[in-house]
Amino acid sequence: MSSQPRSTGRPLWLETAAIALLMTATLKIMANATISPALPALEASFPDEPAAAYLTRFLVAAPSLSVVLIAPFAGLAADRFGRGPLLLAGVLLFAFAGSAGAYLPDLQSILVSRLLLGVAVAMTMTAQVALVGDLFSGQRRSAFMGWQTAAINFSGFLFIGFAGWLAGLSPRLPFLVYMLPVLLVPLLLPILQQERNTRRESAASTAVNTDLAPRKGWLVPALAVGLLTMVTVMFFFLMPSQLPYYLDENGIDSASGTAMGLGALTLTGGLVAIAYKRISSLVGLSASFGIGFVLMGLGFAILSIDALWPLILGGAALVGAGYSLVQPSFLLLALQVAPEERRGSVSGIVTTAMFLGQVVSPLVLTMPIQDFGFATVYRGTALALFLFAATGFSLLLFRPFRPRHAG
C-alpha cells in the first residue's frame, strides 16, 4: 500500500502536522513528571487519609501501569479505526483525566483519574508513532525522531518548572497543566481529515489491486524490538529512579543533586537528539545503536568509579547522550519491521515496552543494589550495554555500510 499521506518537503518546523505530532510526543513526559513537585503538599492536604503517603507516591507511577495494559489494544484500534481519531480522542481524554485532580474530592478518585490518564497516554503514543510512519519517510523520518527526542527532553524542564511554581501556590494547581494539550486540537483536525481521505483512497486501491495482501512475518521482529527496548529502558531508568538513593548513600543532598544530575542528562540528551538525523545518515541505523549503547555504557562505568561531582555529571551526561541515539533508533526500527497497515500494532508493542521498562526497573534492580551495592550494579549495566553495542556493530559485517539518502 503506497497511498499513505506524505509530508510536503518543507522544513519540519514549518509543517503543521510535524508541530502537532512533536507536541503530542511531549505528553509522555508531562503525564508522569508534572505533579511531582506537588506531592508533599498534596499528601499534607489529606491529613485524615491513612494511606495518603502511599497513594500520593503511586499517583506518579499509575499512568505507566495503564499504558502497559492498554497500549497493545490501542495499537490494534489505531490499525482498525485510524490513527487520527485515536490521537484526537487520546488528547481530549488526556486533558480531561489529567486536570481532574484539580477538583476531585479525595485521593482515591484522583488515583482513578491518573489511571485514565495512562489510557490516554497509550492512545496518543501509539497513534502518534504510527502517524510519524505514515507522514514521513527516509531522512525526514530520522530527523523527526531526533527532534521528537529533543522536544521530550527540553519539555521536561518547562513542565516541571512551571508545575513547581504552581505547586508553591497550591498542590492542586499543577493538575491544570494537563489542560494545555487542548490547544493542539486545531492542529490535529487537518491530520484527521487527511487520514480519512487517504483511507478512502487506500480502500479503493485495494479493491482494484488484489495483490496488496498484508505482509506477514512482522510480529516476531516487532516483539524482538520491544524486548530490547524494554531492557534498555530498564537500565536507563536507573537514573531517575535510583540516582537520589545513590547520592543520599554517599552523603550528597539528594534533592539538589538529583536535579543537577538529571539536568545534565536531559540537557545533553536534547542537544544530541537534535543532531540525530546527521549522525544516523552518516553512520547508519546499526552504528547509531552501537554508538548510543557505548555512550550509555561509558556513563554507567564512570558512575561506578566514585560519587564525585565531575563523575556524576559526566556519567549522567553520557547516559543521556547515548539514550538520545538509542531511543529514536528503536522507533525507526519498529516502523521498518512493520508493514504500513500494522504500524499501529507495532507502535503499541514499543510503547508498552518503554513503559514496562520503567515499571520493572526498580522491581528488578533494587534488590541487586541492596545486596551488592550501586557500583557493582552500575558496572554490570555498563557491561550489558557494551554487549548490546557489540551486537549493533556486528550487524555492519552482514549489512555493508550504505548511507541512505531517500527522502
- Residue 360 sits at φ, ψ, to 5 deg, of -80, -20
**Who wins on pLDDT, 16 or 115?**
115
Task: Measure CA of the first residue to CA of the last residue in the chain; give whole Å.
Answer: 18
Output the nine-digit C-alpha cell for 22: 512533536
Reduced DSSP (H G I as helix, E B as strand, rest coil) percent helix, strand, coil of the chain, to 5? 85, 0, 15
The model scores a pTM over 0.75: yes
Helices (H), 100-137: 107-135
On the question of pLDDT at 11 being above 80, the answer is no
* pLDDT single digits (tens) 121-179: 999 999 998 898 888 888 888 888 888 888 888 887 777 778 878 888 888 998 999 99
Please state, for a pLDDT cut of 90, what percent of the chain lies above it: 39
Question: What is d(CA 357, CA 334) in angstroms, rounded to the nearest whole number?
Answer: 17
* pLDDT single digits (tens) 279-298: 988 988 889 999 999 999 99
Give the closest residue to 316 by CA, choosing from 303, 327, 328. 303
Question: What is d(CA 244, CA 249) in angstroms, rounded to the nearest whole number?
Answer: 9
Give the closest residue to 322 by CA, choosing from 290, 351, 293. 293
Could you tell me the pLDDT band of residue 192, with boundaries at 50, 70 and 90? Answer: confident
Question: What is d(CA 402, CA 407) in angstroms, rounded to the nearest whole number?
Answer: 15
Which range has the worst mean pLDDT, 172-176, 276-280, 396-400? 396-400
* pLDDT single digits (tens) 40-87: 788 888 888 888 887 887 887 789 889 999 999 999 999 888 899 999
The residue with cell 494539550 is: 181
Could you tell me the pLDDT band of residue 234, with boundaries at 50, 70 and 90? Answer: very high
Give the closest residue to 111 by CA, choosing from 157, 48, 46, 47. 46
